[in-house]
Amino acid sequence: MTQTKSQLESSERFKPKASRRDFLGIAAAWSAIAAFVMAMLGAFRLPMPSVFPESNSQSKLGKPNRFLEGSATYFPKQNLWLSRSQEGFHAISSVCTHLGCIVERDGEGEFSCPCHGSKFDRAGNVAGGPAPKGLVWVDLSISPEGWLVADTLKETKQGTYLKV
């Protein structure tokens, strides 16, 4: 009890008190920063759409009997080639997997991209150029009224044919 004030301040027991005050200040500052970051994350959630303008991605392509066996029909609005073969219907997207240009289909049924020279075989497999993967096979189904329906946002496995 005979310690002077300066002795007390220089003692080991005094130091943690000062750092507790620092701790409160630092904690307050970090709380404010965390609150700000969370608020900003909430605000910047806004530009991430939860509903896409093309949400209604299903479209009727026509009645199945409109398409002859061995035919390939292009649907420019849906960006897909609808083919009918012995196995059934299948639809291949014409959007290049490289950078999104529209591929052209030649007489052989092979695809080539005008932008950077990617090439794809009849089944959409990569045959050359920079494309990272094959053309997408678009999901096909038959509506209750008997229409052939394509869902352009739904991918299906290559080699999936729709039998009618």
Partner 1 sequence: MAMTDVPETSKQDKRRSIGEPGALRRLGSNLLDTPSAFRKSLVRHGQPTSDRAKSQTVFTNFFLHILSTRTHLHSIKAATTLGLGVATMMLFIILCFTGVLLMVYYKPSVDLAYASMLDIMHVVPSGRLMRNIHRWSAHGMVACVMLHMARAFYTAAYKKPREFNWVIGMSLFVLTLALSFTGYLLPWDQLAYWAVTIGANIAQSPKELTDALGVTAVFDIGRFQKELLLGAHYVGQEALIRFYVLHVIILPVAISILIALHFWRIRKDGGLVRPSYADEPMDGSASQHATASNEPGPAVIKTYGLMGLMKGKTPAVDREMRNTITTWPNVLYVIGAAAMLTTLAMIVLGVLYDAPLAEMANPAVPENPAKAPWYFLGLQELVSYSAFMGGVGIPAIVVLGLALMPYLDREKEDAGIWFSGRQGRRVSFMSAIFGAAVVIGMLAFTVRFGWLRNWEATARIPQIVITFFNPGTVFVAIFAVWSVVVVKLTRSTRMGAIALFTCFLVGFAILTYFATVHRGPNWDFFWSHNDWPVH
Beta-sheet strands, E only, within the chain: 58-62, 72-75, 80-85, 88-93, 104-105, 111-112, 119-120, 126-128, 137-142, 148-156
28 binds partner 1 (CB under 8 A): no
CB of 100 to partner 1, least distance (A): 4
Distances (CA, A) of 84 to 64, 66, 89, 149, 162: 9, 11, 5, 14, 9
Q: Which amino acid is at 76?
A: P
| From candidates 58, 59, 73, 112, binder to partner 1 by CB under 8 A | 112
CB of 96 to partner 1, least distance (A): 9
Name the residue nearer to partner 1 (CB basis): 22 or 54: 54
Q: Is the dihedral of CA 111, 112, 118, 119 positive or negative?
A: positive
Q: What tokens were used for 53?
A: 């303008």
Apex 53 CA angle, 51 and 58, nearest 5: 95
Name the residue nearer to partner 1 (CB basis): 47 or 70: 47
List the x/- string, 66-95, binding to partner 1 by CB under 8 A. Answer: ----------xx-x----------------
Name the residue nearer to partner 1 (CB basis): 50 or 86: 50
| From candidates 16, 48, 108, 145, binder to partner 1 by CB under 8 A | 48
Q: What tokens were used for 115?
A: 């932008």
Name the residue nearer to partner 1 (CB basis): 77 or 163: 77
Name the residue nearer to partner 1 (CB basis): 64 or 130: 130
CA 115 – CA 120 distance, rounded (Å): 14
| From candidates 67, 82, 89, 98, binder to partner 1 by CB under 8 A | 98
Binding site for partner 1 (CB under 8 A): 47-49, 52-54, 76-77, 79, 98-102, 112-117, 126, 128-130, 132-133, 153
